[in-house]
Structure 1
Amino acid sequence: MTGNALLLGTTGMLAAAARHAALQAEKAVIVSRKAGDFSFGDEALDGKCECLSLSYDDEPAFLGALEEYAPFDIALTWIRPRAELLRAALDALMAPGGLLVEVMGSRSILTGENGAPSIATLRADALAAQPDLTYAQVVLGFVRENGASRWLNHEEISAAAIAQMEMPLPRRIAGTLEPWDARPQ
């Protein structure tokens, strides 16, 4: 059993992965805009969860609220790409030897303007230098079936996140990202 788990933005498509992390934790902190309405539907599991209804629009205040529960032994996060301060501060909330799993959309691997590194690459490079932290990305792709493409469903997304918690890789692609022009519109 791990110590504290941070489950950030995981009450929707990542709920099954959040459940997996919470089951292994002594305490789980679930953070989303509507976390107060969230329940795993299991009294014992819900009893070890602290649900914080917060928005990271005010990143300094948001981080201040999280610091109260840190350090985290495991974190599973789904954060919009532009929340740069929040992303950059997550490693400071982790316990030595902790595991940070970041779930990112397919566009996170695209290079920026003028060939700037992608957000996924920037994050991987920044966290590779953290010796006391295991960093694992899940990049969400799509599925090609019968000549058509579809986005991943919740079960497929959570399965990739659970795989990263169980056997972390620097980057795990859920589904496929190629051919890029074949992605669902």
Structure 2
Amino acid sequence: MLWGASLALAERGYTVSVVARRRQRLEALAQTAAGLPGSIHPIPVDYQDTQALIAALEAAQARFGPIELALIWIHSTAPAAPLAVARRVGSPQHPCRYFHILGSAWADPSRPNPERQAAFATLDNIRYREVILGFVREGGSSRWLTNAEISAGVLAAVDADQPRTIVGVVAPWHWRP
């Protein structure tokens, strides 16, 4: 859900619409953001249902205005959802900064995905960015990133606004947990 990143964006004054499946967690996030300069608006929807996701995004845009910044972390169980979201945010006149957050399995240097990048490159309504989630090496072992590290890394990627950001490390690949 990117709890920390959502709160940080609300702290920066953004109106943040957060999509997640669990209503209670969304409501807790919105309550935590009360009193911040921006706001958090829960959108409880299962992103595996692409049509429901699209309808929820359209309703959010009708209520809060165009989506200018999108942090998209959708698991591989909903492969159509990231592109469906990308087609509905921003406009050619005001492209959305679209940050596609990818689990570390995507970052294996031996497994590039030019098809994914090409699909997003055809859209003139977004500025596509990839955020690859890696792992942390500690001494002779490694571990996955914590939720706080993921949120901090995603925010750093937003601030840097580069085509590709790696949070943690992805090499050597055989060191992953």
Task: Please state which band the TM-score falls in when normalised by the shorter chain.
Answer: 0.7 to 0.9
Q: TM-score with structure 2 length normalisation? A: 0.81
**Contact 2:134/2:144 (<8 A) preserved:** yes
- Structure 1 residue 25: deviation in Å? 4.7
**Contact 1:40/1:46 (<8 A) preserved:** no
Match of 2:98 among 100, 105, 110: 100
Match of 2:143 among 143, 150, 154: 150
- Structure 1 residue 152: deviation in Å? 1.2
**Contact 2:13/2:37 (<8 A) preserved:** no
Local SS of the residue matching 1:65: helix
- Structure 1 residue 40: deviation in Å? 5.6
Cα distance in 2, alignment partners of residues 177 and 158 from structure 1: 17
Q: Which has the higher strand share?
A: 1
2:54 is matched with: 63
After superposition, the C-alpha distances for 1:114-140 in whole angstroms (9 at most, x for unaligned) are x8x53xx43322223334422111111
**Contact 1:102/1:137 (<8 A) preserved:** yes
Could you tell me which amino acid in structure 2 is paired with residue 38 of structure 1? L
- Structure 1 gaps of 5+ residues are 1-9
175-184 vs 80-89, which deviates more?
80-89
Cα distance in 2, alignment partners of residues 97 and 62 from structure 1: 20
In the superposition, relative to structure 1, how do residues 57 and 129 fare at CA in structure 2: closer, same or farther (>3 Å)? Answer: closer
Q: Is 2:80 the counterpart of 1:85?
A: yes
Local SS of the residue matching 1:139: strand
- Structure 1 residue 17: deviation in Å? 1.2
User: Identity, % of aligned pairs?
Assistant: 31
Aligned-pair Cα RMSD in Å? 2.4
Cα distance in 1, alignment partners of residues 67 and 103 from structure 2: 24
Match of 2:17 among 18, 26, 29: 29
**Contact 2:67/2:96 (<8 A) preserved:** yes
Cα distance in 2, alignment partners of residues 92 and 43 from structure 1: 31
Local SS of the residue matching 1:38: helix
Q: TM-score with structure 1 length normalisation? A: 0.78
Local SS of the residue matching 1:51: strand
Cα distance in 1, alignment partners of residues 40 and 19 from structure 2: 10
Could you tell me which amino acid in structure 2 is paired with residue 59 of structure 1? T
157-166 vs 91-100, which deviates more?
91-100
In the superposition, relative to structure 1, how do residues 48 and 175 fare at CA in structure 2: closer, same or farther (>3 Å)? Answer: closer
Q: Which runs of structure 2 are paired with 1:1-185 in the superposition (5 Å)?
A: 10=1, 14-34=2-22, 35-39=26-30, 41-45=32-36, 48-70=39-61, 71-95=66-90, 96-110=94-108, 118=113, 121-184=114-177
- Structure 1 residue 41: deviation in Å? 1.9
**Contact 1:124/1:170 (<8 A) preserved:** no
Where do 4+ consecutive residues of structure 1 move more than 4 Å?
none
